[in-house]
């Protein structure tokens, strides 16, 4: 590319300045016009969810501050917006970091083809994954469908992830109008009360991502392998929203963890397990890339005939944390109140939905998409297919999480449940996960009225488990 020229960098899910390959390429070309486009044409079937819009709004504000107010925000058809902007500014190049869902790939391919014909240099980069999906194939060129060989052979035997690129000096074209006005003009916020509540415990943006990563690696990664199963323990990274929106690169996270091993070899198992979780993120994106129907289509087609039920009242009880099973309800309330859910709880509430309630995994995927700050199309879709037993490397359908034993095992002191279900805070631990087994006298003493202050169980665990296994056995042949 020519020197001392103008380049446009299109921010998407790379809302950061550090280790941003596409942005650095623009910077090498000269002065950069930074833009963000809220695509309303190519995302009609999958617009950003409610929680995602809240995070995006605050992330764009943070990014714009880092850019000294030079971020230009647009809303509409990206091709039309880019063509208009290119005609006005006459840049020599356009850069972006790649996305891996079918809609984005089709959109970007069309834009690259159309704009390249005008003489514009259009360059895309890998800034969201450790390995590109076409770099982790089997020897025969086909994609992996089982995680362990994908990670051990496809990833760890491939070239190491690129090292994070050091910060570079970037000169941005100043925005004549107020960048923040443009962000507000995207109309991402619609429910002020909930939006203020849900974002309260988070510092959104690149600075917040760096702080979270540093705190996790310094103080919380020890005992990660076991501690990550307990919702009240500080042994989870909580980096998923920052990774999804690209406020930190996976390469930065990967090498921060690897560096920790160098000085703390006794943490190798914990850190190795954390790195494998980053591997699951890679696996999900590989599945989405190679199987673009992942968000809606069962990877195991035999599940297409599974006899799901329909019951709006059961679905609503699950969504609002009113199932009568405290660990399930606490997880669902955490989701609604914080835009986040601990991974152990995601498995528990997911199993309860698709197996005890026998409701389609699409309902869970859709609700998580709307409520999670880290609502990533690849992770969310692959995760729900895993829970339902119909995906790649999925949990066996007959593996049904018991919410009572799960609660007692992973929240033994009831700290998590009491935090999100204050109506049960006075119950002793012996009845906290089975309040219906407590005597009327004890319930009265603890100010709990089943069916009024807290619901009775909406299904019987034993009966619902048997019904789920019967539904599974009704499939024409065993699922492998």
Mean pLDDT of the chain: 94
pLDDT in tens, 198-224: 999 999 999 999 999 999 999 999 999
Q: How many Å apart are CA 70 and CA 73, to the nearest integer? A: 10
- Percentage of the chain surpassing pLDDT 90? 89
pLDDT in tens, 33-61: 999 999 999 987 789 999 999 999 999 99
CB 376 within 8 A of CB 384: no
- pTM, two decimals, is 0.95
The stretch 361-372 carries a mean pLDDT of 98
Q: What is the distance between the terminal CA atoms of the chain, rounded to a whole angstrom? A: 52
Q: How many Å apart are CA 416 and CA 413, to the nearest integer? A: 8
Q: How many Å apart are CA 147 and CA 314, to the nearest integer? A: 33
178 pLDDT exceeds 80? Answer: no
The pLDDT value recorded for residue 2 is: 47
- Active site positions, annotated: 277, 280, 308, 343, 361, 384
Residue 53 corresponds to which tokens in the numbers above? 């819009």
Q: Which helix (H) or strand (E) holds 33?
A: strand 30-39
Residue 444 corresponds to which tokens in the numbers above? 């009265």
- Name the DSSP class of 379: H
Q: Delineate the domains of the chain, giving CATH numbers in brackets.
A: 5-127 (3.40.50.620), 129-164+207-290 (1.25.40.80), 301-473 (1.10.579.10)
For the purposes of burial, counting CB atoms within 10 Å of the CB of 268, is it exposed (0-12), middle (13-18) or buried (19 or more)? Answer: exposed
């Amino acid at each position: 590319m020519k020197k001392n020229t103008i380049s446009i960098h299109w921010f998407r899910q790379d809302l950061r300045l550090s280790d941003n390959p596409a942005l650095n390429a623009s910077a090498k070309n000269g002065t950069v016009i930074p833009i963000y486009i809220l695509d309303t044409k190519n995302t009609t079937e999958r617009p950003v969810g409610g929680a995602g819009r809240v995070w995006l709004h605050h992330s764009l504000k943070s990014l714009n501050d880092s850019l000294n107010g030079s971020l230009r925000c647009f809303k509409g058809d990206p091709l039309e917006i880019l063509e208009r902007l290119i005609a006005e500014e006459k840049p020599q190049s356009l850069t972006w970091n790649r996305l891996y869902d079918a809609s984005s790939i089709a959109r970007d391919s069309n834009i690259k083809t159309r704009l390249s014909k005008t003489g514009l240099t259009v360059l895309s980069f890998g800034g969201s994954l450790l390995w590109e999906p076409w770099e982790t194939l089997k020897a025969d060129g086909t994609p992996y469908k089982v995680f362990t060989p994908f990670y051990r052979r496809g990833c760890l035997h491939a070239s190491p992830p690129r090292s994070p690129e050091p910060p570079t000096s970037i000169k941005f074209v100043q925005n004549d109008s107020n960048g923040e006005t443009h962000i507000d003009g995207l109309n991402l916020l619609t429910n002020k009360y909930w939006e203020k509540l849900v974002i309260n415990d988070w510092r959104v943006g690149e600075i917040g991502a760096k702080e979270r990563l540093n705190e996790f690696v310094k103080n919380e990664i020890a005992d990660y392998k076991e501690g990550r199963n307990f919702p009240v323990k500080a042994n989870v990274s909580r980096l998923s929203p920052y990774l999804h929106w690209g406020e930190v690169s996976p390469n930065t996270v990967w090498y921060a963890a690897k560096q920790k091993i160098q000085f703390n070899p006794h943490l190798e198992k914990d850190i190795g397990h954390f790195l494998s979780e980053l591997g699951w993120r890679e696996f999900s994106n590989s599945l989405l890339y190679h199987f673009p129907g992942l968000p809606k289509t069962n990877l195991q087609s035999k599940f297409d005939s599974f006899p799901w039920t329909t019951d709006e009242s059961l679905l609503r009880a699950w969504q609002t944390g009113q199932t009568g099973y405290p660990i399930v309800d606490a997880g669902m309330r955490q989701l609604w109140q914080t835009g986040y859910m601990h991974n152990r709880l995601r498995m528990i509430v997911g199993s309860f939905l698709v197996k005890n309630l026998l409701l389609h995994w699409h309902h869970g995927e859709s609700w998580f998409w709307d409520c999670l700050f880290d609502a990533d199309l690849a992770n969310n879709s692959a995760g729900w297919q895993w829970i339902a037993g119909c995906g790649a490397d999925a949990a066996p359908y007959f593996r049904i999480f018991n919410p009572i034993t799960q609660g007692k095992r992973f929240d033994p002191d009831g700290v998590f449940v009491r935090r999100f279900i204050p109506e049960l805070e006075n119950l002793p631990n012996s009845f906290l996960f089975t309040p219906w087994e407590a005597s009327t006298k004890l319930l009265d003493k603890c100010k709990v009225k089943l069916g009024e202050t807290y619901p009775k169980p909406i299904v019987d665990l034993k009966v619902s488990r048997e019904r789920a296994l019967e539904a599974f056995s009704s499939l024409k042949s065993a699922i492998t």
